[in-house]
Structure 1
Amino acid sequence: MDALDLARWQFAITTVYHYIFVPITIGLSALVAGLQTAWVRTGREEYLRATKFWGKLFLINFAMGVVTGIVQEFQFGMNWSAYSRFVGDIFGAPLAIEGLLAFFMESTFLGLWIFGWDRLPKRVHLATIWLASIGTMLSAYFILAANSWMQHPVGYTINAERGRAELTDIGAVLTNSTALVTFPHTITACFLTAGALLLAVSAWHLRRGNQVEVFRPGLRLGAWVVLIAGVGVLITGDLQARIMTEQQPMKMAAAEALYETSKPASFSLFTIGSLDGREEVASVRIPSLLSFMATGSPSGEVEGINDLQRQYVQKYGEGDYVPNVPVTYWSFRLMIGFGALAMAVAALALWSTRKGRRPAGRWLWLAAISTVTMPLLANSFGWIFTEVGRQPWTVFGVFKTEQSVSPSVSTANVATSLIVFTVLYGALAVIELMLMLRYARAGAPETVVPPGEDEPDRPLAFAY
């Protein structure tokens, strides 16, 4: 493996790892804010206990997300300096806005929320967690706007003399059609992930009969969030698929391993054949579904890999413009499959707990507890599909991945940092898992003194 391959592996490992924490943080911040709102409106202690409990898990994930996210920016300068030099004028703008506006907003108001329980008026304190939650979503938008520019570059011009892309319209970058469909798809996936966490942890406690007054509502809230967010993921994903087909038809063709243009085109749930999908032995197919996903019409035409390869050669010059078909094909299905499986378990959990019922059967409890892994896997495979399906481009149609790697970084340098980061992230994974399990198993506090009702001279202290 050369420096390019190792750099791609390193960025993939650190990005997928980082994105484990992002959807939990974004979704859970809003759910914690919702629980605190319920407490402020009703005064019921179980809502305050739930706010404190889920707030701990939210803060752990936020901290881990910040730590692992910093590494991403260092890699642009270390392993991808040619890319940074080429796109820095454009890519840096939304990332700078994210850092100076959104991240400072979420971190500032999160600090006020953590330390302001006994110092801020109740409703002002509530506003801090809502503003922190809004900050996490704004942060996501600006980062997605940067990534969307890589998928569909707009608002720029190429300066041939300097050999780089230069920003001409920041409004076009921030209102990129790709960003406008990717953002709601990502946010609904975040809520699906956070809802699954509520469902899984609550199921674990209810299986043992712990704190039923807190975790039974938590289980049902999580299940409803998973179902509603899941529907949102399906709707926004449908819109995103059509935009993707317009902008990156090769990615959609690779998602089905469709080599020949077809009208209409079926969608295979499962295929047995050669690894690259050229030779099919057997498959389970839904007629016309790929046409509907790609064009909005069950009789629409979907261009195949072979035709698109010839078009790309004419447009961009000689080269192989076909992404890794096996990875693209299976990551697309695993993304959909794990998301649908989480929705199915959530529906079963709601049905089993209707009208005060307590679910019976070990397998139902195991399914509910394991739900937390399903959206995390769906998110990871979704990003793998998005990024691998764009290859061989870092900026689609403009700048190739092989041009993006740092010219002065040797294979040994990248291999060393890859090993170090992998070991470090493995250690962080153990720490994260231990912290999450420790605080999740501890359950909600048995009694909580409402803020403002203890001694007025109490010094400023961390809420937990």
Structure 2
Amino acid sequence: MDVLDLTRLQFAVVTIYHYFFVPLSISLAATAAGLQIAWLRTKREDYLHLTKLVGKLLIVTFAVGVVTGLVQEFQFGLGWSAFAKFYGDVFGPTLAIEGMLAFFLEATFLALWYFGWDRLPRAIHTACIMIVAAGTLLSAFIILAANSFMQNPVAYALDPVTGRARLTSFTDLMLNKVNLAAFPHTMAGAIMVGGALLLAIGVWRLAADPAYRVLARLGAWLTLSGGALTALTGDHLGKVITEVQPMKMAAAEALYNSTSGAPFSVFATGAPLPEFSLQIPWLLSILAKGNPGATVEGINDLQAQYVAEYGPGSYVPMIPVAFWTFRLMIGVGMLAAAIAAYYLWRTRKARTAPHWLTRWLPLIPLLPAAANTFGWIFTETARQPWIAFGISKVADGISPGLTSSEVVASLAGFTVVYGIVAVVWLRLVRHLARQPLAPAEVAAEKPEPVPVY
């Protein structure tokens, strides 16, 4: 691997690892706020205990997410300084605002919420966790706007003096059509990840406290509803991506020639795909353009078009990676939603889930986490060779003078540290889940000793 591929691998490792914790923070913050509001309205003690448990899980996850997010932002200067220099005026405001939201707004009010039990009025205390939940959503929206610029560059102009891109409208950057479509899709995926974690903990600890049944079913409902929302928002996002990045959708199907009423391959073999495929007629045209008879542009036609527009070179991404990550994203995510639906069905009206199901359900968080990962791999690799679509290639953004040994050394260091952090996070989550939900009753006070004269 050359220095470019190594730097891309390093950024992928850092980003994917960071994104394990981002959707968890978003969903756990919203769930903690919802449970606390439910407790205030119903006065049910189990809601109070579950609120505190979810809040503790949020704090542990938020801390890891902040640390790994810092490392990710440093990557722009370490490995991609040419990109940062050219687009810094566009990316700078989004990264700065997101950093301030994470460090100041979310962290401050999360601390006030955690230490404010029995110290703040209930309404103000509840408002603190609601602000944290709103802050995570706002933070995600802003940082997704930066990524959406790379998918569909908007709100910029080239400065004739410096030759750098400068931001022309922060509002237009935020309202990028890709961002407006990607944000709800990403948030739906976050709901699935958080719900799956709560479902796993609830099932694992069900014998310890009946309140864990509430947590398990809540997690199952979140996983199922998140799956349904992911499908709906993903349909809209697919149509937007087809409009701004037609090569990405063509690569997702390995569609080489423009086709009217294009089918969707559930499975395919061959090199390069597909030589043999199991197809659903017209489905790709429906997914791409909402019309079963619509024409979907093929890879060959788009390659010729891009050569004429951007100059000689290959504009075709890695077809097998795009093809399979697109299907794994959908398949694994829907499997998690189906399992959650089955659990809800088997536990309706106070029924008990079968042993084989509860034995394996603690592993269910791996499914939506994997679906999110496959989704981001597809999003980023199927954009290649562009770092910002249509205006700058990946090879143009790498730091000058960077060597393979430097990248390998830093990648090895990140891998070791991240491995340690993962173990610590898992042990902390396991420790928190093992704690009794209801605090032990305070032992009766011992009588005052009788003085002996």
> Does TM-score exceed 0.5, indicating one fold?
yes
Cα deviation, 1:188-223, whole Å, max 9, x if unaligned, reads: 1111111111111111122xx2201x1111111111
Aligned counterpart for 2:293 among listed residues 289, 299, 314? 299
- The residue that corresponds to 2:387 in the other structure is 394
Residues 173 and 261 from structure 1, CA distance in 2 versus in 1: closer, same or farther, beyond 3 angstroms? same
Q: Distance in 1 between matches of 2:94 and 2:428?
A: 33
Deviates more, 1:131-140 or 1:428-437: 428-437
| CA distance in structure 2 between the partners assigned to 1:436 and 1:325 by the alignment | 38
Residues paired across the two proteins, number:
442
Alignment check: 8 A CA contact 1:49 1:448 kept = no
In the alignment, what sits opposite 2:196? 196
Could you list the per-position Cα deviations for residues 313-332 of structure 1 after superposition, in whole angstroms to 9, with x for gaps in the alignment?
00100011011111111111
CA drift at 1:448: 8.1
Aligned to 2:430: 437
**For 1:26 and 1:83, how far apart are their aligned partners in 2?**
29
Structure 1 match to 2:215: 218
Give the equivalent residue in structure 1 for 2:323: 329
Quick check: 2:223–2:337 contact (8 Å CA) kept in 1?
yes
Q: What one-letter code is carried by the residue in structure 1 that aligns with 2:110?
A: L
Q: Deviations over 1:160-215 (max 9, x none)?
A: 54232111122110111111011111111111111111111111122xx2201x11
2: CA distance between counterparts of 1:382 and 1:112? Answer: 35
Aligned to 1:454: none
Q: Is the 8 A contact 2:66 2:102 kept in 1?
A: no
Shift of 1:31: 0.5
Contact 1:103/1:135 (CA < 8 Å) preserved in 2? no
Equivalent residue for 2:263? 266
Q: Deviations over 1:81-100 (max 9, x none)?
A: 00001100111122222223
Question: Matches of 1:393 and 1:354 in 2, distance apart?
Answer: 50
Q: Which residue of the partner structure matches residue 231 of structure 2?
A: 234
Partner of 1:461 in structure 2? none
CA displacement at 1:438 relative to structure 2:
2.1
Per-residue deviation, 1:101: 4.1
Contact (CA 8 Å) 1:394, 1:404: kept in 2 or not? yes
Match of 2:205, SS state, is helix
* RMSD of aligned Cα (Å): 1.4
Change in 2 beyond 3 A, CA 1:107/1:448: farther
Checking the alignment, whether the CA contact within 8 Å between 1:102 and 1:138 is kept in structure 2 is no
Structure 1 unaligned residues grouped into runs of 5+: 450-464
Which residue in 1 is equivalent to 2:166?
Answer: 166
Structure 2: runs of 5 or more not aligned: 443-453
- Aligned counterpart, 1:462: none
Distance in 2, matches of 1:332 and 1:448, equals 52
**Contact 2:329-2:374 within 8 A present in 1 as well:** yes
Task: Mark the CA change 1:128 to 1:263 in structure 2 (over 3 Å): closer, same or farther.
Answer: same
Paired with 2:386 and 2:114, the residues of 1 have a C-alpha distance of: 43
What percent of counterpart residues are identical? 52
Equivalent AA in structure 2 for residue 69 of structure 1:
G
Within 5 Å, give how 1:63-102 maps onto structure 2. 63-101=63-101
Aligned to 2:117: 117
CA deviation digits over 1:19-55, x for unaligned, max 9? Answer: 0000011001110111111111122211111111122
* Structure 2 CA distance for aligned equivalents of residues 103 and 379 of structure 1: 25
TM-score, length basis structure 2: 0.95
What do residues 323-361 of structure 1 show as CA deviations (whole Å, max 9, x unaligned)? 111111111111111110011001101100111101123
